Structure 1
Amino acid sequence: MTGRPLELSVEGLRYETDGRTLLDGIALTARPGETVGVVGPNGSGKTTLLRCVYGALRPTAGRVLLDGADASALGVRERARRVAVVPQDAGGTFGLTVGEVVSMGRSPHKRFWEQDGPDDRRRVARALETVGVSALAGRRFDGLSGGERQRALVARALVQEPGLLALDEPTNHLDIRYQLEVLGLVRRLPVTGLLVLHDLNLAACFCDRLYVLADGRVVAEGPPREVLTQELLAEVYGVATRIAVHPATGAPSIVYLPEQPAGPVPETGLG
């Protein structure tokens, strides 16, 4: 259901717009078959980085390499055969059924206006089954719940047969069961994964390595157990935490501490 896992290298990536620098000298690697997470507070540049990787934005400076080849030199269709995207929101799907949206992932493998063949339909059916939305194939995509839409977008990415799967907040709108299923699926697929995540405990559990962004720069990189420290989370997120090793997974387990009042507790007048 996927192609051969690719190696991703991001070298000196810089992105500027409207006089602002959103990314400043980003260096990142993902080895074939790795699942790499990008974390950081809102506005740190995570989605901008992902969009530069899959080609929605053109960097001001620096390069994105796929198996050593400059991605900017690839045509749109060739790049789409190598990199599939699960965005936060899906545009251009109004009035389409779930099956039609998922089948759009076959476009890079077909000639312009070519209809789906039996092999395409088999791949779409298998992807729908893999993410648990086979029963929704005939439903309108824009009538689905947020979680159902997210799983359908994962299925669309799978039928694209990528070597690199880029996911922007793939657990948005998903309940706990499907958060675990979707991230577990990414881990099991023979594909290189690049995930933007807000949930640090999920990132610690499912990612081989993490890159922590702040103000458009990488401030930490490495395995979750080395990166997710109380000191770093206090510096980057401004929160107090306690971190232990989860007894079942061996991954860091983060507990967020409530903010302490900065003075005596005021009288409430309640007895």
Structure 2
Amino acid sequence: MLQLQEISYETGGRVLVDAVTLHADTGETVGLVGPNGSGKTTLLRCVYGTLRPSSGHVLVDGTELTGAKERARRIATVPQDGQSAFELTVREVVAMGRSPHKRFWEPDTAADERLVTEALARVGVLDLAERAFPGLSGGERQRALVARALVQQPRLLVLDEPTNHLDIRYQLDILTLVRGLGTTNLLALHDLNLAAYFCDRLYVLQRGAVVAAGPPAQVLTPGLLAEVYGVRADVGVHPATGAPTVTYLPGPGAGPDVPRPTGERKSSTI
């Protein structure tokens, strides 16, 4: 179980996260949504320890994690777009997920290698195992980082825009995989329809503060989308999934009015 108690973070006199209180029950998938600059990534960094909150507490199963090793055993992270300065292979990057469970000099065991191979296969990059990680496409890197998180065997999985650079098939595959792991998951997403379908609850951030929280059907309303995102939208219920579905509309509140195209589209030759 994850609990954030009045988490704030400020730097250079600017408050980037403002007294955020949040909880994710065991096995829940909780989403952070909000426009660019709303504080989602900063808040996640406070959770997994890259940033130290200016105030407040991060509790996992009721305990505030202090040491880096202890934190890494309990929390696995998938950043937005991981880069590597070293010419490590994909397999070597994924195997790094075992390091919190090993001594610094301890070699990989057969069990470790099996976990790495299974994770590579689950996210669809087993055929890239011997490729250099920096040479992968953005989507391939993202899937490899999810595999690294899997071999870490965490209780809590924190993902920052895990669908970045992925085509729609792998967006659905990755989020379905995450939902099926049995871990507690906290993830930031831009796509509100994916968030509505895959998350049990949503927290909406605006200028670093939570402005709405609850099940997607309660949170994703036309009024909230207009207030937080500055867009007009219809919110319905998808007949097949039962999840809220957001349809964005042009017009006032959504930037300059753009006339809807009418008639046949003219073809062009390049």
TM-score (norm 1): 0.92
Deviation at 1:78, TM superposition (A): 1.1
Tell whether the 8 Å contact from 1:241 to 1:254 is kept in structure 2 after alignment.
yes
Map 1:164-203 to 2 at 5 A: 164-203=156-195
Task: Choose the corresponding residue for 1:136, options 125, 128, 133.
Answer: 128
Deviation at 1:53, TM superposition (A): 0.4
Map 1:146-225 to 2 at 5 A: 146-225=138-217
Distance 1:204 1:264, change over 3 A: closer
Distance 1:155 1:262, change over 3 A: closer
Question: Bigger relative contact order, structure 1 or 2, given CA contacts below 8 A and separation 6+?
Answer: 1
Q: Which residue of 1 aligns with 2:69?
A: 77
1:247 aligns with 2:245: no
In 1, distance between residues paired with 2:93 and 2:257?
55
Distance 1:125 1:44, change over 3 A: same
Q: Which residue of 2 aligns with 1:33?
A: 27
What amino acid sits opposite 1:192 in the alignment?
Answer: T
Q: Which residue of 2 aligns with 1:106?
A: 98
The percentage of counterpart residues that share the same residue type is 66
In 2, distance between residues paired with 1:149 and 1:263?
38
In 1, distance between residues paired with 2:95 and 2:115?
9
Tell whether the 8 Å contact from 1:13 to 1:24 is kept in structure 2 after alignment.
yes
Give the match's secondary structure for 1:116: coil
What amino acid sits opposite 1:63 in the alignment?
Answer: H
Tell whether the 8 Å contact from 2:196 to 2:216 is kept in structure 1 after alignment.
yes
1:50 aligns with 2:44: yes
User: What RMSD, in angstroms, separates the aligned Cα atoms of the two structures?
Assistant: 1.4
In 2, distance between residues paired with 1:232 and 1:264?
23
Q: Which consecutive unaligned segments of at least 5 residues does structure 1 have?
A: 1-6, 266-271
Moved over 3 A (4+): 260-265
Q: Which residue of 2 aligns with 1:4?
A: none
TM-score (norm 2): 0.93
Q: Which consecutive unaligned segments of at least 5 residues does structure 2 have?
A: 260-270
What amino acid sits opposite 2:16 in the alignment?
Answer: L
Distance 1:22 1:225, change over 3 A: same
What amino acid sits opposite 1:172 in the alignment?
Answer: N
Deviation at 1:92, TM superposition (A): 3.5
Distance 1:245 1:18, change over 3 A: same
Q: Which residue of 1 aligns with 2:226?
A: 234
In 1, distance between residues paired with 2:143 and 2:204?
26
In 2, distance between residues paired with 1:263 and 1:170?
32
Tell whether the 8 Å contact from 2:84 to 2:133 is kept in structure 1 after alignment.
no
Q: Which residue of 2 aligns with 1:124?
A: 116
Q: Which residue of 2 aligns with 1:19?
A: 13
Give CA-to-partner distance per residue, 1:159-210, whole Å, 9 cap, x none.
0000000000000000000000000001111100000000000000000000
In 2, distance between residues paired with 1:264 and 1:238?
16
Task: Choose the corresponding residue for 1:61, options 55, 75, 82.
Answer: 55
Tell whether the 8 Å contact from 2:35 to 2:206 is kept in structure 1 after alignment.
yes
Give CA-to-partner distance per residue, 1:14-61, whole Å, 9 cap, x none.
101011001111000000000000000011000000000001100000
Give CA-to-partner distance per residue, 1:214-237, whole Å, 9 cap, x none.
011000000000000000000000
Distance 1:93 1:115, change over 3 A: farther
**How many residues are treated as equivalent by the alignment?**
257
What amino acid sits opposite 1:16 in the alignment?
Answer: E
Deviation at 1:143, TM superposition (A): 1.0
Deviation at 1:94, TM superposition (A): 2.5
What amino acid sits opposite 1:35 in the alignment?
Answer: T
Distance 1:136 1:264, change over 3 A: closer
